[in-house]
Structure 1
């Protein structure tokens, strides 16, 4: 028991490091480096983020396979290959001589993301110890929440010392020298998950640890995927553009400083979840996290006499808290409702829907931001986030009816 707990905690620590590096190199840094890329390639903001949206789209499509492969071959092995793919894709970007080669090279980074980000990392923890996985998932997101806090200012500083190409070379080195060895070590600790088979699809829910009755599972899966898709659209739209949007609403050079509040707010929400999270069901956390997202957008739309800086700080805090809890519940809600059997495949399906929908967010948000300004863009993002809240309320009703009928 003690050895298993130590292995599980060691895995959380290792995964925390790789999640910080992977989210920072493949996701958070792009909005900081994009202006330099656009200037070199003579491309507009819309075209840059259209290409970046392509990375999310391909990531969503690949997620359908990454989840099955995590169950079939072991999530650690999948993450090991993902590290190599991430390093290679960053090298392709760094050495692309023109826009015609850079755009498809950027899209290839999306091939790596499903194999090395949260969905597969959660599967690693479930495969190591299904019983302690919900708590370990919270620990992991607690550590990984510092990715934006570290990489937004890091990328800003590096850009004063290096070109964006040199930064991508550095990032490729981090993937190969830091993430690859950790994932290789984890591959020896993970075991394959039981697959979902047609002949076992109608077994009692308790057989796999899930609480949701079998007849309710298909509609619940569709609704959960829809709810996460709405939330991820709002999150993705703002996370990629966070610092530029804060600048556009009038914060100027304070935008990066305010943006750094996002990471600690993620940490705080996850820490609170560790302390009192066992008092709330996974679906309650899903509703709470999704509600915080549109509420955060409204803070940037507050009229005078509310000072802009006060609204921006409230935005960063609420948005960070919503994002932090949302990352946790993406792993814990499917586990609570569906159990560990075929967990990788179930999470892969949810992630696929979530990423395919949210892949349009950076481009659409950039277009609206450019054409209509930050206030209209924020209002639309808030409305989409509100749709996510409504969807999870419907899921809560379905879960209650399902458990009452058992």
Structure 2
């Protein structure tokens, strides 16, 4: 038991490192690099973000395929392949000498992301850590939550001595030198884990009543949550400026990361008995609540700080729920492909969110836009509440199990 525990802990730590590097190089660095890229290509920065929207759509479309490969061939092998793909994509961005070349690189980055980020990492934990998978996912999200905290300032610092092309080359090397060896080791770990006796602590969940419809609700819920989250995170600083907070908006925005990490620590300490459907409802409620607080209190700085903390708590918990809820409702069979379909819905709505919210801010103003976004968040709460209701009915009838 002790050997199994320590090997699982080692796998989680290894995945944590690769997810920090993966999210940092493939996602969080983009907003820091975008102005320099736009300047060199003589484009408005909104065009560079438009490239990212197109790339997110491409990543969403391929996500179910990536999840299916994880189910069929093992998630660790898919992660290893994804590391090579991520390095190639980042190198192509570094080589780009025109906007079209760069767009191709960004699309390849999002395609690689489908193979190398959370969805595949969660699938590996489901395959390799057995009945501990839900707790393992929580621990992984806690470690990976430091990606933005590390890579936003790191990328800014690198740009003081390097241009954006060189930064992309360095990030490509990180994926090859750091992530690929760890993912190859995880391939060996997964093979060893497959030889362990099957744990019988709890039964494997089976499809709950109306399972296909419940899964559709889960996809819709996560898609709405992704839309609300992306709309805010892409526009938080200029939006806070429009609300009258001025330079304080940057300080307020820095509270998101610590709040996300705090939410995972709180869940690990006090939320062990909460079922995944309940946690989904709780996390969904925090986002519209935060938006209402900001709409009512702006331009109050304490109100904006409360908004950032509550919103960060909600998005932090959603990172956990995105892995644990499908696992609790439907079990490990086909888990990777289910996460892929969830990613498809989430990424498609996330891709249009920055543009849609930008249009709303310009046409309606910040406060009406926040109220409309809060309505979308409230619909998300209702969707997950229905998932919770159906899960309880299935569990009480002995049809399914909710961990």
1:132 equivalent in structure 2: 132
Could you list the per-position Cα deviations for residues 136-161 of structure 1 after superposition, in whole angstroms to 9, with x for gaps in the alignment?
A: 11101111111122222333333343
- Deviation for aligned residue 1:232: 0.8
What CA distance in whole angstroms lies between the structure 1 residues aligned with 2:187 and 2:277? 31
The alignment's TM-score, normalised by the length of structure 2, stands at 0.90
The alignment's TM-score, normalised by the length of structure 1, stands at 0.90
Q: Residues 158 and 369 of structure 1: is their aligned pair in 2 closer, same or farther, counting only changes over 3 Å?
A: farther
Aligned residues: 392
C-alpha RMSD of the superposition:
2.4
1:199 equivalent in structure 2: none
- 1:283 is aligned to 2:277: yes
What CA distance in whole angstroms lies between the structure 1 residues aligned with 2:71 and 2:128? 12
1:325 equivalent in structure 2: 317
What CA distance in whole angstroms lies between the structure 2 residues aligned with 1:61 and 1:191? 29
- Deviation for aligned residue 1:281: 1.1
Alignment of 1:3-402 (within 5 A): 3-191=3-191, 209-210=204-205, 212-213=207-208, 215-303=209-297, 308-369=300-361, 372-402=364-394
- Deviation for aligned residue 1:185: 1.0
Could you list the per-position Cα deviations for residues 28-61 of structure 1 after superposition, in whole angstroms to 9, with x for gaps in the alignment?
A: 2222222222222222243222210122111111
- Deviation for aligned residue 1:98: 1.0
CA contact (8 A) 2:20 2:146 kept: yes
CA contact (8 A) 2:19 2:144 kept: yes
CA contact (8 A) 2:297 2:303 kept: no
Unaligned runs of 5+ in 2: 195-200, 399-403
Unaligned runs of 5+ in 1: 195-205
- Deviation for aligned residue 1:267: 1.2
CA contact (8 A) 1:74 1:193 kept: no
SS at match of 2:272: helix
CA contact (8 A) 1:210 1:339 kept: yes
What CA distance in whole angstroms lies between the structure 1 residues aligned with 2:52 and 2:117? 17
Q: Residues 290 and 193 of structure 1: is their aligned pair in 2 closer, same or farther, counting only changes over 3 Å?
A: farther
- Deviation for aligned residue 1:320: 1.3
Tell me whether 334-343 or 254-263 shows the greater mean CA deviation.
254-263
What CA distance in whole angstroms lies between the structure 2 residues aligned with 1:87 and 1:274? 33
